[in-house]
Structure 1
Amino acid sequence: VQRLSRHEVAALNIGYVADPFYTLLPITLATFQCSFPTVSINLFEMTCGDQFRALENGKIDLGFVGLREPIEERGLQFRSIASYKTVAALAKSNPLAKKPIIKLRDIEPMFFIGMSERAYPGYRHWLTTTCQQVGFTPKVLQDADIERALIQAVAAGLGVALLPDQVNKLPHENVVFRPLSPTVVTESCIAWKAENRSAALKAYVHIVKERSASMR
């Protein structure tokens, strides 16, 4: 694999979902640009699903893709960069909203609001697996393409949702977030095409690995 010279002119295309990686993304980009000031960095805010498609067709070199699902069939390499506790999102009017901690089994009778497979590949598999670990299969009423729409559906009392705890950064009037028992941890990942031999990509992945390890 070629090495990247500090003065080499190159480009690096990165996809991201804004909220979950707000801290890590600017820190790693600043470090990278200090080391390789001639490399052009192009950022694309995308859903996780759009990032997978952009990786496959070569439009981006690396994506902050979130859930590590699905994996092998895409010819991608993954690296876990963060772990988040999962919370239950409920309407304030939901009787369970009064509890400080919610048992996962307690929300079995309720409908769930999920994330669409096109926008967030693997979310439904993760949700189903998570609930089946405590003995039930979730009843998904509808799927949302963006987190904001999911929160609005929860606020309207249409169902509950399971999300990483950083979702509380989103506006959430009439919605409460409660930790779960047992604790459910989700991993967030970066991904890149295994056959991509870009020296700029290799250098940036190294920086992300180092920074994410120091922030855990």
Structure 2
Amino acid sequence: MDFSLRELECFTAVAEELSFTRAAQRLHLAQPPLSRHIRALEQRLGTVLFDRSGRRVALTAAGAVFYEETRSVMPQLIRAGETTRRFASGQTERLRLGFVSAVLSPELVEVLRLFREKHPQVQLLVQDLPPAEQLAALRHGTLDGGFIGLPPEERTPGIELLPWRQEALAAFVPFGHPLAKRQRMDLRALAGEALVAVSSEAAPAFAAYLRRVCGSAGFRPRIVLESPRAQAVAVMVAAGAGIALLPASLRRVVDGAAAVVPIRDAPKISHVFAHAAGAVSPAMRRFMKLLSK
């Protein structure tokens, strides 16, 4: 590496503050040494990183490229140091878990809280990822487990599934739509209605579930807009983009901004927890035991 971490730290501070004065204050460093570090970095790279004309400081084109390529380095080093300190203080195990926004519920939060309470030595790292990305991360070993929502339509090699919980399907309806006044509705009431939905690329199992239940009700869903995130779909409903069929627990996203109407006789949505097949760590065994209760 042709530059030091101190030089990178100074560059990042100036790039984010767009002020040598504020960057020096942020780093608890006098301004002259800060400027020397920036000049040394520019000399090493052979290019000017900041436009210092007048009182204004701005990234040059080269500086913007360098910032884009390096901006994650310092946060990653900070996380590495924090993880090491936690390990040294007794957090000797780690679980990397994913979840899809459709399953973010008080039940999930309670599971994580209870596990953390019972096993404080385990560091929990939680990421919000669509089901398809979680399954890919499990296969590549960058996640230990994930709340993926519905089970995949086809068996995924190397992945095992643990049933977790079930919940009802509901219609999320913009206020002002005639269906928003219903206390409950049959699914076939949505035949021909403009629907917004989670994309099949992000959540193929949920997309297949919707096609199946709508087909059983005698119609094909007319999807006009898609998003990879269930929470975004709920917000699109509140904005008047269309009606959505979503897990009922997502009512928290649109509370007071859209109607949530239960669907009569719709099959329950079954959520599963996925993890890599084969050897399971002691921390994962304890986590799955808690889920099974």
User: Normalising to structure 1: TM-score of the pair?
Assistant: 0.83
| 2:139 alignment partner AA | E
**Partners in 2 of 1:182 and 1:155 — Cα distance?**
25
| 1:197 alignment partner AA | V
Which sections of structure 1, spanning at least 5 residues, go unmatched? Answer: 1-6, 211-216
Of 231, 250, 264, the match for 1:181: 264
**Partners in 2 of 1:130 and 1:43 — Cα distance?**
31
Aligned equivalent of 1:73 = 156
Cα displacement string for residues 118-157 of structure 1 (whole angstroms, at most 9, x for unaligned residues): 3223221111001111111112112112234312332344
Is 2:175 the counterpart of 1:92? yes
RMSD (Å), alpha carbons: 2.3
Which of the pair has more CA radius of gyration? 2
Cα displacement string for residues 81-108 of structure 1 (whole angstroms, at most 9, x for unaligned residues): 1111111111112112122111111110
For the residue of structure 1 that corresponds to 2:103, the secondary structure is coil
Of 178, 182, 203, the match for 2:286: 203
User: Normalising to structure 2: TM-score of the pair?
Assistant: 0.63
Identical columns (%):
24
Aligned 8 A contact 1:151 1:172 in 2: no
Change (3 A) 1:34 1:106: closer
Aligned ranges 1:63-212 → 2 under 5 Å: 63-172=146-255, 174-210=257-293
**Partners in 1 of 2:279 and 2:200 — Cα distance?**
26
Of 39, 49, 53, the match for 2:122: 39
**Partners in 2 of 1:179 and 1:33 — Cα distance?**
34
Aligned 8 A contact 2:105 2:249 in 1: no
Aligned 8 A contact 2:102 2:149 in 1: no
| 2:193 alignment partner AA | M
Indicate the larger mover: 38-47 or 134-143.
38-47
Change (3 A) 1:30 1:115: closer
| 1:207 alignment partner AA | L
Question: Is the strand fraction higher in 1 or 2?
Answer: 1
Q: How many residues align?
A: 204
| 1:108 alignment partner AA | A
Cα displacement string for residues 1-31 of structure 1 (whole angstroms, at most 9, x for unaligned residues): xxxxxx8932211112356344333433344
Aligned equivalent of 2:43 = none
**Partners in 1 of 2:249 and 2:210 — Cα distance?**
17
For the residue of structure 1 that corresponds to 2:217, the secondary structure is coil
| 2:136 alignment partner AA | R
**Partners in 2 of 1:49 and 1:140 — Cα distance?**
20
Aligned equivalent of 2:140 = 57
Aligned 8 A contact 1:155 1:173 in 2: no
Change (3 A) 1:202 1:71: farther
Following superposition, the deviation at residue 64 of structure 1 comes to 1.0
